[in-house]
Amino acid sequence: SKTKHFKWEVEYMYWSPDCVEHVVMGINGQFPGPTIRAQAGDTVHVELTNKLPTEGVVIHWHGIRQHGTPWADGTASISQCVINPGETFLYRFKVDKAGTYFYHGHYGMQRSAGLYGSLVVDVAEGEKEPFHYEGEFNLLLSDWWHQSVHEQQLGLSSKPFRWPGEPQSLLMNGRGQYNCSLAAQFSNSPSTQCKFKGTEQCAPEILSVQPNKTYRLRLASTTALASLNLAIGNHKMVVVEADGNYVQPFAVEDMDIYSGESYSVLLTTDQDPSLNYWVSISVRGRKPQTPQGLTMLHYQHHPKTSLIPTSPPPVAPLWNNYTHSKLFTNKILAFMGTPQPPITTHRRIALLNTQNYIDGYTKWAINNLSLVLPATPYLGSIKYGLKNAFGQKKPPENFPIYYDVMKPATNQNSSYGNGVYMLGFNTTVDVILQNANALAANTSEIHPWHLHGHDFWVLGYGEGRFSDQKENNLNLRNPPLRNTAVIFPFGWTALRFVADNPGVWAFHCHIEPHLHMGMGVVFAEGVHLVGKVPDEALTCGLTGKMFMSDNNKP
Ligand code: C2O
Ligand code: CU
């Protein structure tokens, strides 16, 4: 195995992700940031310099478990202090498992600002993937707003509450079209046909293929808000990987991808090679106000006259057809040979997801606590026993038995919290994510939950309130291993993981405005076993103070 070195500078730059010029957060002059490509077992070094003039930055390596390097997880207030303007921080971590991953900012709403990129880990030298393909493409999916994230962020924490609304565009590899459409000729609403030379920042990245071959399509969603449905005209896809774990292959015509998820699908180019085909992404779970994101599948065989397909783009399933989504999600099962979960658990934590008010501000809360991150990173404050750094009260393991998840709460007020779920090292933990009615009657949203530092088994999904009887129906035989799992409206999702990674780990809804409004919790395990944390990770808050008084220096 090797060490891969990267030198990155994060900066604001003018860019036209959807043909409209705005400001994005880029890396080394690129948007999306450079792709990291490594082999399982490699060590990745990213020397990150913050060139933003007035704000800190951190980068999280989504899906990388950070065994032995919890300080490199890149979560502000959890694993490290933010990197201040002008400063450089060295991320050093091992990529131990082949798969499709990505990275993104994890401070404020910097992911919405465009701070993200792909991270692909190939199998180790001499190893083989359990499927065959002749070429591959990588599509990083995101959503894009014209309003600056600073304004979005302020609106979310204002009274009255101002919601940023639906995204203006959907992007594939940072490319979308706002003022024109690639499929104008098929659209009912008047729109102009996009004309591209191909060198524009918003020109679609065309997937150029040869007939009768199999391609691997790596898909990852780093959307701030949108849940997506992806389809390729006339072509089936075979799902083979989810979140860096192999799954039982299954064929689909379209698939859902929630924020924080990644997949690999196999695509066989067995259709008429004289035609071109659409690749489309559409919003689901929220009433779409955003046009489909589009690019083309182009058979090289054919002389390049027009790349625009001759038939309309795939029609997305109805945004609120949850039956369709559940059908897809329930097909995802572990590939043979995937480690199975322990058959019993040591602890069960039930987490109720609610939308609330605190002093008239709109928030999300988990068991009635809305997360506000502290000034001192937990990794430092727990390691050095700094009890004033965060709330010492244990956060609740459950929610009231009489709580009706199908109705708005009788008391919609909640409070702020920043306590930690302390997990026994190497114990098995079950988490029941319980969805509920939001503030308004008859509304409940999709929330994709992402766990740092681990993969978990998804033991099952269900409707209404989770109860002990439902426990008997959990899948302990071939549950998929993942790092992100969705909860459907008014439903529950059951997860199991082993707390075997010393460190402090965020567990949160991957919808960025939701996290910003408090939708997350913090887990910690075996922090006494964490080796030397680089000083640079802890130079803020109470750990920063500790460094200043020399005699206390650890
Ligand atoms: Cu990709 Cu904590 O997130
Ligand atoms: Cu959410």
Q: pLDDT per residue over 260-307, tens digit each?
A: 999 999 999 999 999 999 999 999 999 999 999 999 999 987 666 678
Q: How does the average pLDDT of the chain come out, rounded?
A: 96
The residues spanned by each domain of the chain are 3-122, 135-330, 347-548
Measured between alpha carbons, how far is residue 106 from residues 60, 259, 280, 346 in Å? 6, 14, 28, 31
Whether 111 is in the pocket of ligand 1, judged by its Cβ within 6 Å, is: no
135-330: same fold as 3-122? Answer: yes
Nearest atom in ligand 1 to the alpha carbon of residue 62 is: 1
Nearest atom in ligand 1 to the alpha carbon of residue 222 is: 1
pLDDT, residue 307, reads 86
CA distance 58 to 204: 29
pLDDT, residue 187, reads 87
Whether 62 is in the pocket of ligand 1, judged by its Cβ within 6 Å, is: yes
Whether 284 is in the pocket of ligand 1, judged by its Cβ within 6 Å, is: no
In 3D, which of 423, 457, 461 has the Cα closest to residue 329? Answer: 461
CA distance 21 to 371: 34
Is 2.60.40.420 the CATH number for 347-548? yes
Which H or E run includes 121? strand 116-122
Ligand 2 center–CA 259 separation, angstroms: 10
pLDDT, residue 512, reads 98
Strands 43-50 and 3-15: parallel
Whether 516 is in the pocket of ligand 1, judged by its Cβ within 6 Å, is: no
Ligand 1 center–CA 450 separation, angstroms: 6
361-414 tens-digit pLDDT: 999 999 999 999 999 999 999 999 999 999 999 999 999 999 999 999 999 999
29-40 tens-digit pLDDT: 999 999 999 999
CA distance 52 to 55: 6
pLDDT, residue 236, reads 98
Whether 175 is in the pocket of ligand 1, judged by its Cβ within 6 Å, is: no
Mean pLDDT calculated for residue range 519-544: 97
Percentage, residues of the chain above pLDDT 90: 94
CA distance 164 to 142: 16
DSSP 387-398: GGGS--SPPPSS
Name the closest ligand to CA 511.
2
Whether 506 is in the pocket of ligand 1, judged by its Cβ within 6 Å, is: yes
Name the band, by pLDDT with cuts 50, 70 and 90, for residue 549. confident
Q: Are 373 and 78 in contact (CB under 8 A)?
A: yes
Q: Identify the CATH class of 3-122.
A: mainly beta
CA distance 296 to 504: 42
Name the closest ligand to CA 59.
1
Name the closest ligand to CA 61.
1
Q: Identify the CATH class of 135-330.
A: mainly beta
Whether 106 is in the pocket of ligand 1, judged by its Cβ within 6 Å, is: yes
Whether 60 is in the pocket of ligand 1, judged by its Cβ within 6 Å, is: yes
Q: Are 436 and 353 in contact (CB under 8 A)?
A: yes
Q: Which residues surround ligand 2, an ion (CB under 5 A)?
A: 447, 509, 511, 514
Phi, psi at 543, each rounded to 5°: -70, -35
Question: Does the CA dihedral 342-95-335-321 come out positive or negative?
Answer: positive
ipTM of the shown complex: 0.98
Name the band, by pLDDT with cuts 50, 70 and 90, for residue 1. confident
Nearest atom in ligand 1 to the alpha carbon of residue 508 is: 2
Residues 6+ apart with CB under 8 A from 197: 203
DSSP 262-294: EEEEEEE--S-TTSEEEEEEEEESS---SPPEE
Name the closest ligand to CA 262.
1
Find the angle CA(134)-CA(135)-CA(138) to the nearest 5 degrees: 150
Question: Is the predicted pLDDT of residue 500 greater than 70, yes or no?
Answer: yes
Question: Is the predicted pLDDT of residue 452 greater than 60, yes or no?
Answer: yes
243: left (phi over 0), alpha (psi -120 to 50) or beta: left
82-108 tens-digit pLDDT: 999 999 999 999 999 999 999 999 999
Whether 104 is in the pocket of ligand 1, judged by its Cβ within 6 Å, is: yes
